[in-house]
Structure 1
Amino acid sequence: MPDLLLELFSEEIPARMQAQAAEALKKLVTDALVERGLIYEGAKAFVTPRRLALSVHGLPGRQADQKEEKKGPRVGAPEGALQGFLKSAGLASIDQATIQSDPKKGDFYVAVIEKKGLPTPDVIAEIVPDIIRRFPWPKSMRWGSGTLRWVRPLHSIVATFGAEGDEPEVVRFEVDGIEASNVTRGHRFMAPTPFTVKRLDDWMAKLEAAKVVADRERRKQIILNDAKDLALAAGLELVEDEGLLEEVCGLVEWPVVLMGAFEERFLDIPDEVIRATIRANQKCFVLRNPETGRLANRFLLISNLVASDGGRAIVAGNERVIRARLSDAKFFWDTDRAHKLDSRLEKFKSITFHEKLGSQAERIARIERLAVQLVESGVVKANISDVSSAARLAKADLLTEVVGEFPELQGLMGRYYAEGEKLPPEVAAACEDHYKPQGPNDRVPTAPVSVAVALADKIDTLVGFWAIDEKPTGSKDPYALRRAALGVIRIVLENGLRVDLREVCLVSFEQHYHRHGGSMDMRVYFESASNQKNKTFETLADLLSFFADRLKVYLRDRGARHDLVDAVFALEGQDDLLLVVRRVEALGRFLDTEDGKTLLAGYRRAVNILRIEEKKDGRAFTGPTNAALLKEPAEEHLAAAIEDVKARVKKAVAAEDFAAAMTALSDLRAPVDAFFDAVTVNDKEAALRENRLKLLDEIRAATRGIADFDLIQG
């Protein structure tokens, strides 16, 4: 079957846009083909700095013919209606229509319209120009006197269609004066002469001969393999960088890896600063000395051509730039170390964190107080002096020269500066780790001082933005509050911390409240029944609900059932994340057993009966039951079992022994089954009926010691 080859040749496409553009071209073209009835076997997109291309193979030679029935007016309809029908159906006279009968509506005219399928090249010539004109570039430009907007000036279009073994035809169309052809160009400098291409294999082979590697993944592998080989030959190791590899792959069509060097005196700078400098300014890879574990004074650059001098001039040019950049970095590093971290704190008073949340200095003070409170309340066992010092200094590196130049090094540089000042190792570590975890794959701080500051930092952020009603909405989360909440959850769970979130958030809310001149004890305020409908009270509840939602996401990603999280969180006072997780895990294990499944079925039967009868009577049936009205042995046994189980569950939950609580709950299985086998709930005697319905409610009450079984699915 025939194949389509499409290439859009232009000036350099920004590297960051290339992968997305290739996928967009593939989707737009293939969707348009399928929409027009042209089903294909496969498609692959290609992108280099100067070309965006697509191959679609296994296309039919033309569209299938189509028949369409168009319903017209009734027989005997007015002349105007008939003429309108003939015109819309493309018929010369009503005799060309057929008559169909409908038992209800009578006879009516039907036109059978036959539509001949177009040759596939004609369809391609129809759809591609429109796709080019409305292509979704993040940024585009218009040049010259034309109207086309493209990411960079578009020079030529290749569009061929044909089966293997045949001479493909050029699909004829034009876009803004650029006519499609079978002519393209190779490398800008090493093979600028135009040449003709036929189909995909011919296009790729001729481009390779013209010093262009069209396949993006192959270019990446060439760069990575050559870089590793060159490093190995020098006795060094490549510091791999997937993000940089993606970027440099989009900068070259014919990758050539070259090695350069810089003076050893620059190795006094931290490795991360050297790497950031070389990466950001020259898009070069750094190398590690395997003997020392530190960076070597070598780097690898990716050239886009084979130079006649072996690349010496290219390397020398890069070395000059890197030498200058590293000189700046060394100046910043030396300047920063001349001033202690605490000398920078005064400047934070004039820096606004958020117009509604005050200055950075105010925020740092809140974080310090909250971190100390976490230690004083026993959540974290750490030295209070170290925690106070770490919380106060953790943000100080934001005002250093190195972090000003490379913001991604914040925290890390704080650790280096703290170590240089001979501050306690726990304080230095907290300066770096209090930002963590910054994503699902980032490590979680485990040192107690780091944990206290990291929790305080994230909770202050969440409470502050909730207090001013700047919460995430849909896909928008400009302040990364979802990440902050997930960070709190991971720190708590992975360190096994016992944290009463409600209590900690109350402390933080109180700090924000006092900043605005308030003097009320926020704990008393929040716990007052008269304020429970107040917006501020609802804010706390909403924040705790947000934590619950994030916990569901966290547990679901680890295979837990979200309905069990809902069932546990539905109970009051579930603010201890570690206990919530332990309860969910125990509940999940219980429900996987035969006892758990049977009890859940019995529970649902009881609750369904109870709901039906409550709806019928228009009132709720709540326990306790009247022992004098327990007539049947099965209901007496069930009532006794419920009282016993409730007491054991309460005791086990108080001892945080959730396995024992589940064992106690499993003892309800047999009495519940026996009750439904032997007892008629809806007895004719009203008093007995009411008492038995209350007994069903007692089953619900017994399970509520563990979770809200109403929310359990499956």
Structure 2
Amino acid sequence: MTTENLLVELFVEELPPKALKKLGDAFAGVLFEQLKAQGLAGADAVLTSFASPRRLAAHVTGVAARAADKAVSQKLMPVSVGLDANGAPTPALLKRLGALGADASAVASLKRAPDGKAEALFYDSVQPGVDLTAGLQKALDEAIAKLPIPKVMSYQLETDCELPGWTSVNFVRPAHGLVALHGADVVPVKALGLKAGNATHGHRFEAAVDPVVLADADAYAATLAKDGAVIASFAERRADIVRQLAAAAAQVGGGCRPIDDEALLDEVTALVERPNVLICQFEKEFLDVPQECLILTMKANQKYFPLLDAAGKLTNRFLVVSNISPADASAVIQGNERVVRPRLADAKFFFDQDRKRPLESRVLGLAKVVYHNKLGTQGERTERVSAIARAIAQQLGGDALARQADQAALLAKADLLTDMVGEFPELQGIMGGYYARHDGLGEDIAHAIEDHYKPRFAGDELPRNIVGVVVALADKLETLVGMFGIGNLPTGDKDPFALRRHALGVVRMLVEKDLPLELDALLRSAVPAFGDKISDASAALGDFIYDRLSGSLREQGASAQEVDAVLALRPQRLADVAQRLAAVRAFAALPEAPALAAANKRVGNILKKAEGEVTAQVNEALLVEPAEKALNDSLKTVVPQANAAFVAGDLTASLQALAALKAPVDAFFDGVMVNAEDAALKANRLGLLATLHAAMNRVADLSRLAS
């Protein structure tokens, strides 16, 4: 079977830049999978995807003009339904064969094979392979239908001459061209009212020719680059931008580097067809404004790359990725400098105006800002966060820390009412820190205000000082306790109040800052701050937080069994969890571990089935059998050793001490009847098992390690 390489391109108006990479990967990926599913592309076929502002394309190697014929075995019906008592075909069987293009002559060749409890009839046939035109049409339709389009546009296309008029088309952007080449041959497919050809269009302004005619599928990228002035590959265009950014920064000198922002890089790659990086600058006086403001306005509004010096401080230079490459770029440079200046002037104006009022003067205004219709205003929320922060700080540092935490918590949301945060909501907290410094409140308070949203995402840094940790913890607890208290819980992939992220933030602060706080008590202590606005959902919230902790630990490499064993006991100090996990891992490596874990599971089941409450007490006078006496003697030796190691914080040694119990435990279950007829003996043996169970499960529930 001969094969040729295939090229499919959909030429459209400018695609949404933030979605371009995903659109390009999806278009090429679905097209490729469909070709393979139909047998037109083999397992060794190679896919290359292309995506530029005005095109989505895919190049596939080794595509056949027609797929190979395929032997197919189709189940028809049970033998009892298809054949009568004499073995003759029933009307039902003949009708089914007719639907498959066969007649009564095929009955003799039908196969019988078991199908569950009955025997069924199977019809073997050869299914002709699909030809490329039909197969590619199906693949193209599927690729377009499955595009992750953020928002669909509706536009009109003029219909064929024999059917005058207009027809509506729905797509992400109006499509103007379709290319489908199998080698040098055009594949006559259609899409979005377009017929496939061998010509596309290049750069809007710099293409050498228009249209750009493609000699064959393999000439696509090179021809577009040469005649169309377009780098069609998203990855190649992105790499070229990275190279040019680094070269431009080196040209500026002084150890300068462009700001590192992968999302911005992807977006700019999606905005240009042939990138040209230019160096621009703005007046140094704007550097008096916090650099976060300037960086944000340059990135968000203009898609510029600010330049940082060797110390990470913003310079007055920035890089522009232009879509044109004139011989004299001065006009482009001046134009971009002229555009950015008003943006920076606005930021300076907001900063200057905001500093005319102390941060504290804005706190009362939070009473007019609605937070949630069931939880009140931001002012009420601020009071709750302050109350929770004071309680936490009192435990961690007494009155002095409580006063600082209270002040920082009261001011933490005040910057929401500043002009700067009104223009750039992403700067909330950051601006509060700047304004706190301006008001002379000191670095501890300023850092706490700036950091109280942290950690904002996975891997984000934690607050820098203990005041910030307390306020951040209180802020997240207020959100979690409040939302759970009104029943506003995450469902599926919907989590509008980022409760999962808040829960992980609480976990990270408790663990990484080694805070001596017990989780259940911490959650309950936050409830009174809400008065009668919520119900107490601390138990459900605790389960939610342990679930987040469990997922986080598994992502870090801990086994599900180890995590379940540790978290089954709901350890209250989350900072101890890592040490417990290490101890469980060391215990699981012991040769005695599997037997002890199985025995522990058995003991747990026995105690669950016991009538009434079982007390972990043993009356030695009632120990009759040698095996139960031996187990009791072992417990009297091992338990003090394990407990002493536990109290000393050596959890690994505490668990490993239990290895000495394997032989007496095995002997006990081999030689002792727990459910003795004598009630006193039975109760005493259950007490012995309860003592064993308590000793074995102080660090973790070892029964969870049993296979």
Whether TM-score is above 0.5 comes out as: yes
CA distance in 1, matches of 2:181, 2:284: 55
CA-to-aligned-CA distance 1:400-448 (integer Å, 9 cap, x gap): 1111111111111111111111212100110111111112211112411
2:168 corresponding residue in structure 1: 147
Q: Which among 187, 196, 203 is matched to residue 203 of structure 2?
A: 187
CA distance in 2, matches of 1:569, 1:347: 44
CA distance in 1, matches of 2:120, 2:285: 94
Residues 397 and 410 of structure 1 are in contact (CA less than 8 Å); yes or no, is this contact kept in structure 2? yes
Deviates more, 1:81-90 or 1:505-514: 81-90
CA-to-aligned-CA distance 1:624-664 (integer Å, 9 cap, x gap): 45533434444312112224444454555455443453244
CA-to-aligned-CA distance 1:574-632 (integer Å, 9 cap, x gap): 3221234433332332333x2xx4144134146438858997x9999876455334344
Q: Alignment length, in residue pairs?
A: 680
Q: Which among 203, 228, 245 is matched to residue 265 of structure 2?
A: 245
CA-to-aligned-CA distance 1:129-155 (integer Å, 9 cap, x gap): 454356441212121233321211111
Residues 386 and 409 of structure 2 are in contact (CA less than 8 Å); yes or no, is this contact kept in structure 1? yes
Residues 436 and 446 of structure 2 are in contact (CA less than 8 Å); yes or no, is this contact kept in structure 1? yes
1:423 corresponding residue in structure 2: 441
CA-to-aligned-CA distance 1:241-277 (integer Å, 9 cap, x gap): 2221111110000101111221122111111111111
Letter in structure 2 aligned against 1:598: E
Letter in structure 2 aligned against 1:590: F
Distance 1:689 1:119, change over 3 A: same
Identity of aligned residues (%): 38
Q: Which among 271, 292, 301 is matched to residue 281 of structure 1?
A: 301
Q: Which among 60, 70, 74 is matched to residue 66 of structure 1?
A: 70
CA-to-aligned-CA distance 1:525-551 (integer Å, 9 cap, x gap): xxxxxxxxxxx45x2111111111122
1:94 corresponding residue in structure 2: 104
CA distance in 1, matches of 2:280, 2:132: 53
Q: How does 1:611-622 map to 2 (within 5 A)?
A: 611=605
Distance 1:603 1:67, change over 3 A: closer
Structure 1 residue 189: Cα displacement: 1.0
Residues 259 and 308 of structure 2 are in contact (CA less than 8 Å); yes or no, is this contact kept in structure 1? yes
Q: Answer yes or no: is 1:454 the counterpart of 2:476.
A: no
CA distance in 1, matches of 2:484, 2:120: 65
1:499 corresponding residue in structure 2: 517
Residues 281 and 316 of structure 2 are in contact (CA less than 8 Å); yes or no, is this contact kept in structure 1? yes
CA distance in 2, matches of 1:173, 1:506: 65
1:114 corresponding residue in structure 2: 126
1:3 corresponding residue in structure 2: 5
CA distance in 1, matches of 2:123, 2:559: 57
CA distance in 2, matches of 1:587, 1:610: 18
Structure 1 residue 8: Cα displacement: 0.4
Structure 1 residue 286: Cα displacement: 1.1
Q: TM-score, normalised by structure 1?
A: 0.88
Residues 99 and 108 of structure 1 are in contact (CA less than 8 Å); yes or no, is this contact kept in structure 2? no
Structure 1 residue 667: Cα displacement: 3.5
1:302 corresponding residue in structure 2: 321
Residues 140 and 191 of structure 2 are in contact (CA less than 8 Å); yes or no, is this contact kept in structure 1? no
CA distance in 2, matches of 1:667, 1:554: 33
CA-to-aligned-CA distance 1:309-366 (integer Å, 9 cap, x gap): x222222221111111111111101001111100111110111111111111111111
Letter in structure 2 aligned against 1:2: E
Distance 1:603 1:188, change over 3 A: closer
Q: Which ranges in structure 1 are unaligned for 5 or more consecutive residues?
A: 163-167, 517-535
Q: Answer yes or no: is 1:587 the counterpart of 2:584.
A: yes
CA distance in 1, matches of 2:602, 2:402: 55
1:52 corresponding residue in structure 2: 56
Distance 1:281 1:176, change over 3 A: closer
Residues 616 and 688 of structure 2 are in contact (CA less than 8 Å); yes or no, is this contact kept in structure 1? yes
Letter in structure 2 aligned against 1:588: R
Residues 52 and 272 of structure 2 are in contact (CA less than 8 Å); yes or no, is this contact kept in structure 1? yes
Q: TM-score, normalised by structure 2?
A: 0.88
SS at structure 2 position matched to 1:579: helix
Structure 1 residue 512: Cα displacement: 0.8
Q: Which among 592, 597, 618 is matched to residue 598 of structure 1?
A: 592
CA distance in 2, matches of 1:183, 1:707: 68
Letter in structure 2 aligned against 1:120: L
Residues 156 and 180 of structure 1 are in contact (CA less than 8 Å); yes or no, is this contact kept in structure 2? yes
CA distance in 2, matches of 1:613, 1:466: 34
Residues 341 and 417 of structure 1 are in contact (CA less than 8 Å); yes or no, is this contact kept in structure 2? yes
Deviates more, 1:80-89 or 1:499-508: 80-89
2:160 corresponding residue in structure 1: none
Q: Answer yes or no: is 1:15 the counterpart of 2:13.
A: no
2:502 corresponding residue in structure 1: 484
Q: Answer yes or no: is 1:205 the counterpart of 2:198.
A: no
Q: How does 1:364-383 map to 2 (within 5 A)?
A: 364-378=382-396, 383=401
1:465 corresponding residue in structure 2: 483
CA-to-aligned-CA distance 1:657-714 (integer Å, 9 cap, x gap): 434532443342343345467x354799867788656644543232133322222245
1:531 corresponding residue in structure 2: none
CA distance in 1, matches of 2:118, 2:678: 62
2:181 corresponding residue in structure 1: 160
SS at structure 1 position matched to 2:63: coil
CA distance in 2, matches of 1:330, 1:613: 71
CA distance in 2, matches of 1:423, 1:170: 72
Distance 1:460 1:13, change over 3 A: same
Deviates more, 1:62-71 or 1:45-54: 62-71
Structure 1 residue 79: Cα displacement: 7.2
Residues 101 and 107 of structure 1 are in contact (CA less than 8 Å); yes or no, is this contact kept in structure 2? no
SS at structure 1 position matched to 2:64: coil
CA-to-aligned-CA distance 1:59-94 (integer Å, 9 cap, x gap): 333212133455473266587446524521323x52
CA distance in 1, matches of 2:512, 2:142: 53
1:702 corresponding residue in structure 2: 695
1:527 corresponding residue in structure 2: none
Structure 1 residue 126: Cα displacement: 3.8
Residues 307 and 318 of structure 2 are in contact (CA less than 8 Å); yes or no, is this contact kept in structure 1? yes
CA distance in 2, matches of 1:177, 1:659: 70
Letter in structure 1 aligned against 2:555: D
Q: Which among 461, 467, 474 is matched to residue 443 of structure 1?
A: 461
Q: Which among 383, 386, 406 is matched to residue 404 of structure 2?
A: 386
Distance 1:382 1:38, change over 3 A: farther
1:262 corresponding residue in structure 2: 282
SS at structure 1 position matched to 2:154: coil
Structure 1 residue 174: Cα displacement: 2.1
SS at structure 2 position matched to 1:143: strand
CA distance in 1, matches of 2:383, 2:409: 8
Q: How does 1:342-357 map to 2 (within 5 A)?
A: 342-357=360-375
CA distance in 2, matches of 1:320, 1:431: 35
Residues 186 and 193 of structure 1 are in contact (CA less than 8 Å); yes or no, is this contact kept in structure 2? yes
2:658 corresponding residue in structure 1: 665
Distance 1:288 1:98, change over 3 A: same
CA distance in 1, matches of 2:94, 2:578: 73
SS at structure 2 position matched to 1:668: helix
1:231 corresponding residue in structure 2: 249
Q: Which ranges in structure 2 are unaligned for 5 or more consecutive residues?
A: 157-165
CA distance in 2, matches of 1:697, 1:14: 65
Residues 597 and 704 of structure 2 are in contact (CA less than 8 Å); yes or no, is this contact kept in structure 1? no
CA distance in 2, matches of 1:255, 1:380: 58
Residues 485 and 550 of structure 1 are in contact (CA less than 8 Å); yes or no, is this contact kept in structure 2? yes
Q: Answer yes or no: is 1:433 the counterpart of 2:451.
A: yes
CA distance in 1, matches of 2:136, 2:583: 60
Residues 83 and 89 of structure 2 are in contact (CA less than 8 Å); yes or no, is this contact kept in structure 1? no
2:238 corresponding residue in structure 1: 220
Distance 1:454 1:79, change over 3 A: closer
Structure 1 residue 109: Cα displacement: 8.1
Distance 1:619 1:339, change over 3 A: closer
Residues 278 and 322 of structure 1 are in contact (CA less than 8 Å); yes or no, is this contact kept in structure 2? yes
